[in-house]
Amino acid sequence: MAEVARLLAAAKKARTQAYAPYSQFAVGAAVLTKSGEIFSGCNVENSSYGLTVCAERVAAFAAVTGGSRELVGIALVADMPAPPLPCGACRQVLSEFNPQMWVVCANLQGKQRRFRLDELLPEAFGPDFRETRKEK
């Protein structure tokens, strides 16, 4: 799939811009929109650790800022033995834009794992939840 190669290249490039002075764990991500645009992001750490933002959310927020809300896929890349997986917060944020998007996780050695987001976050809390909790 040509889109995967393009996304992985964008994620690897974004990883080089990561601001990770505390963990030394640089991550890059890139999202693909329905129109074919790619938006990338890297993790940005903060000395107040809770304010750190993951690469996946930075990429998704860049897409929204660029006017795109229909995300179809994401790739993330980190330098570790096994391909990294999105954290729970990132899974929830991505689910807001497409619970069925595909997710490609890769390391710098070329190992990959592929999922659909709803496999990684089944029964996600989402916009439809409001309807299911209304009393009849």
List the one residue out of 2, 3, 1, 4 whose CA is nearest residue 83: 4
Beta strands across the sheet bearing 102-107: 38-42, 27-33, 71-78, 102-107, 112-116
Q: Is 96 a catalytic residue?
A: no
Q: Which of 3, 56, 70, 96 is catalytic?
A: 56
- Give the count of alpha carbons within 13 A of 41, CB side only: 22
User: Which helix (DSSP H) or strand (DSSP E) does residue 103 occupy?
Assistant: strand 102-107
Catalytic residues: 56
